[in-house]
Amino acid sequence: MKKYEWIAMNPEDTMIIAERLAALLQKGDVITLEGDLGAGKTTFTKGLAKGLHITKTVNSPTFTIIKEYFGNLPLYHMDVYRVKDSFEDLGFDEYFDGNGVCVVEWAHLIQDQLPEEYLKICLYYDKETGRKIVFSPNGTRYMQLCEELF
Ligand code: ADP
Ligand code: MG
């Protein structure tokens, strides 16, 4: 499957691509974010929020599992690091076909509970300070989205 790469030398570069992506998003879209601690998953989400004209500050939802923000579209920011098996039991999967955009940090931990189609985004440390951001579209909707974005 085709992948798309973006090199971000600083947090602003990470936010730029996220902001551009935000402009193309529709309700029901699901984005997964993978990467080591400090790779920039939350920074990327801040860029998405900016692009969706959300004025509230986005913080990591590590201890709350999900945070909701309201802009052009609702943004459901999830961090499933501590959830694992109970994700469906807690009813969080309902957000996937809801009225907004879902962003899931550490999504591989709930791999079997993800929708069939989603946009997978992996952030890697690149040399000293930069990051490499790899977009892997899963399904037609996200393949088109990436074609438009890049
Ligand atoms: P995560 O959510 O993946 O744990 P955060 O986004 O919370 O990561 O933190 C990333 C940290 O790395 C921030 O302190 C940010 O300023 C810094 N940083 C340095 N370079 C970059 C970059 N290119 N993209 C994103 N963050 C970067
Ligand atoms: Mg984070």
Q: Domain containing 80 — which CATH number?
A: 3.40.50.300
SS3 state of residue 144? helix
Q: How far is the CA of 42 from the centre of ligand 2 (A)?
A: 4
Mean pLDDT, residues 3-22: 97
Domain of 105 in residue numbering reads as 4-149
Task: Provide the phi-psi class of 84: left if phi over 0, else alpha when psi is between -120 and 50, else beta.
Answer: left
Q: How far is the CA of 20 from the centre of ligand 1 (A)?
A: 18
pLDDT tens digits, residue range 28-70?
Answer: 999 999 999 999 999 999 999 999 999 999 988 767 788 999 9
Q: Which atom of ligand 1 is nearest to the CA of 33?
A: 3
User: Which pLDDT does position 88 carry in this prediction?
Assistant: 73
Residue found by looking up tokens 């962003």 in the block: 103
* Structural domain count of the chain: 1
pLDDT tens digits, residue range 83-133?
Answer: 766 777 777 788 898 899 999 999 998 888 899 999 999 999 988 779 999
State how far the Cα of 132 lies from the Cα of 5, in Å rounded to an integer.
7
User: Which pLDDT does position 82 carry in this prediction?
Assistant: 81
Burial class of residue 109 (count of CB atoms within 10 Å of its CB; 0-12, 13-18, 19+): middle
User: Which pLDDT does position 36 carry in this prediction?
Assistant: 93
User: Which pLDDT does position 84 carry in this prediction?
Assistant: 62
Pocket test for ligand 1, best of 13, 32, 43, 58 (most atoms within 8 A of CB): 43
CB-based pocket (< 6 A), ligand 1: 8, 10-11, 13-14, 35, 37-43, 60, 129-131
Ligand nearest to the CA of 36: 1
pLDDT tens digits, residue range 69-84?
Answer: 999 999 999 988 887 6
Residue nearest to atom 15 of ligand 1 (CA): 11
